[in-house]
Structure 1
């Protein structure tokens, strides 16, 4: 079976005409700096490329994003600042909120060792780290207990993520044995300069304010712009939202969206000249479009072989059909659709009944709710939904209208039963 995907199916305005031409190596430096979480000296040519263009890169971000490039003899990193609480992309290696909490506590532990004068000895035992995190987080409502398998898996994923960035070095032991609670199992790690480059000063007042905003049961279906960025100019907020992805929604920040509409040609020209990307401006959102296969970043939004990817696209199609058939009411003035979780679950069941035979054995054997939770995660990663939240709703974003998919039966007389993805739209994809 083949899955046919039709992207870019709604009318829009694709901007990308530029009279400016930047050197190819400078464009590459811009893309590398933005798409990579950090660049290390051991990466050789890429490190030297960004280092060579540092002043031009920093000047561009001073004008457009307000982000600072942090650099040393070993690490270069673009310090991004949010324009909203929900940029959209997730990292597959950090799956749950507690994974991110563990990562934050690990970086706190690294900084604490520096401040306590142990900066020359960056080695530590995993058991000591877990003990410190558990003690420090004790007063928090989401306190850790590393006797629980879930919390042990969270700290393992956070450590693996940091190790993958080069922020940790494994000295001795195996984390999987500690997670499995093998008797006397422990792991010796060592922090590197990369970990220190990731440590940021937190303003407690901002953290408290953000926590209060997110504590609202209906926060997931409300505009995600946070009040602490209210002093940032509209156009800078727009650049941040576009570059962080997946889109700038009118729903989140009307003023920034109006700024994009007013300066669309200038933004499109700058985007094409600087990164080689296009601006796609719609009625309810704006996003970046670039050639397929050009992604150097840590996240690939869609893959041709992932069952969850296919289900997510089929759900986007089913949502469209519900609206076209008048079963669900249409989107609101911001292009968003508020759907009860019960209705989404029922829609998923119908999609599973219709297409489930095309999915892999693992997906077919799982419970519907467990599979749906993973599909929700993929759809959040794609930037087409938010939620489900405590309010019992899912917010379907206007970007869901970009996708339409179905399965195509193999030609008569063939034995091909492999599910593949083929793009029927433009050879571009949304960032």
Structure 2
């Protein structure tokens, strides 16, 4: 009986951990579709999950018959987490698509249970005609094909996250002005999208509405201050590839110094992530390598270029490196690797090195391996990139943990 009880306890812990990892990977889980089994698991352990996330992170878990939503308050404003096209090239959304998304959600909030794509686009067009919005330079008239394509990209994103369900028709027909599409509107899922601590309708007088949406009342006691610090640190460890000590406030660093072991142990027990502690900071490493939306190393030309640039930058940690030097390096290597058919043929085209380096720096920035602002001439390697430096070969024991930094989906 003891062995049986141990097996049942181990099975329950494994299931609960799988449910926690599911919420970190997919903060909005639908009860239907490809993640249905994960939703069932989250629903089964919703009480334990809700208590842990509330206690350790301050994130709110909401479950209904349609979906489970982990309302993750982000630690920083991060441009490396853009909305992207659901299919095809996965290009990130531009400014107009973000505006159309917000307008579409506003329309769906007050529409009937069903709506056509044409009707949704018409209502969005009316919203875009608001003088205050038009003054920002945003226009949407549905007269051009690219505008209709933007609208379709928004709708496909809403289909992916479960706000809409397609009933009949195909979006490409709308782009070609040859047909329309009918959708069911999932209001309960729509109501779960916002992760703000305050309702948007309450912010009419706010100067910085984005900051006001996630504003948290300052703690009034030492216990509440420590709780807030614990929330902040755990959020970073769960959501970011690396927590660097030099990016913490004095009180946060002091708290982490005394509570590091306890915080990391609780995260490991709950999620299976393993703490890798270095002199500069902490990375919660995923031994299963499925909790990240940005992988490195990666196959293909872009992945190889990224790895080579990381190797080059690993020798200059803390010292800015000219982006022009990286262009020159990639341009030189392109001849050799395309000749060997390691890189794709267009890597030697004039200007190809610019796109390759830009893609690599975007990935390295997302993984917190470098600090770089798009369009600037310098990139600063951060300490965690040292793992990609070339050193003496070592023998890895069987079953050793992979130590690639990961970040979690939002």
Provide the TM-score with structure 1 as the length reference. 0.70
1:286 maps onto 2:276 in alignment: no
In structure 1, how many angstroms separate the alpha carbons of the residues matched to 2:139 and 2:243?
34
The answer (yes or no) to whether the contact 1:388–1:395 under 8 Å persists in 2 is no
Deviation of residue 393 (structure 1)? 3.6
Equivalent of 1:319 in 304, 313, 317: 313
Q: Which residue of 2 aligns with 1:197?
A: 192
Equivalents in 1 of 2:82, 2:243: separation in Å? 17
Task: Name whichever structure is richer in strand by fraction.
Answer: 1
Distance 1:163 1:265, change over 3 A: same
Q: CA deviation at 1:28?
A: 1.6
Aligned to 1:412: none
- The whole-number CA distance in structure 2 between the counterparts of 1:172 and 1:266 is 53
RMSD of aligned residue pairs (Cα, Å): 3.8
SS at match of 1:241: helix
Instruction: Give the whole-Å Cα distance in 2 for the aligned partners of 1:104 and 1:266.
Output: 43
8 Å Cα contact 1:29-1:53 kept in structure 2: yes
Counterpart residue number, 1:40: 30
Instruction: Work out which of the residue numbers 273, 276, 279 in structure 2 matches 1:277.
Output: 273
Q: Counterparts of 1:151-230 in structure 2 under 5 Å?
A: 153-179=149-175, 182-184=176-178, 186-193=180-187, 194-199=189-194, 201-202=199-200, 203=203, 208=208
- 1:128 alignment partner in structure 2: 122
- Write the distance in 1 (CA, Å) between the matches of 2:388 and 2:151: 35
Please list every run of 5 or more consecutive structure 2 residues that lacks an aligned counterpart in the other structure: 1-8, 220-224, 392-398
Judge conservation of contact 2:335–2:348 (CA < 8 Å) in 1: no
Distance of aligned partners of 1:316 and 1:44 in 2 relative to their CA distance in 1, 3 Å threshold: closer
Matched with 1:70 is 62
Paired residues, number: 363
User: 1:60-97: per-residue Cα shift (whole Å, max 9, x none)?
Assistant: 11211101012211111100001111285556536435
Alignment match of 2:361 (pick from 373, 376, 393)? 376
Q: Normalising by structure 2, what TM-score?
A: 0.73
CA–CA distance in 1 between the matches of 2:21 and 2:375? 38
Find the counterpart in structure 2 of residue 58 from structure 1: 50
- Alpha-carbon separation, structure 1, partners of 2:322 and 2:29: 43
Shift of 1:395: 4.0
1:327 corresponds in structure 2 to none
| Structure 2 residue corresponding to 1:306, chosen from 292, 297, 300 | 300
Structure 2 residue aligned with 1:360, among 319, 339, 344? 344
Instruction: After superposing the two structures, state which structure 1 stretch, 378-387 or 279-288, moved more.
Output: 378-387
Q: Is the 8 A contact 1:246 1:430 kept in 2?
A: yes
Residue 256 of structure 2 is aligned to residue 260 of structure 1: yes
- Deviation of 1:144 after TM superposition, in Å, equals 5.4
2:387 & 2:177 partners in 1: Cα distance?
52
**Structure 1 runs not aligned, ≥5 long:** 1-19, 213-225, 324-329, 332-336, 407-423
Per-residue deviation, 1:44: 4.3
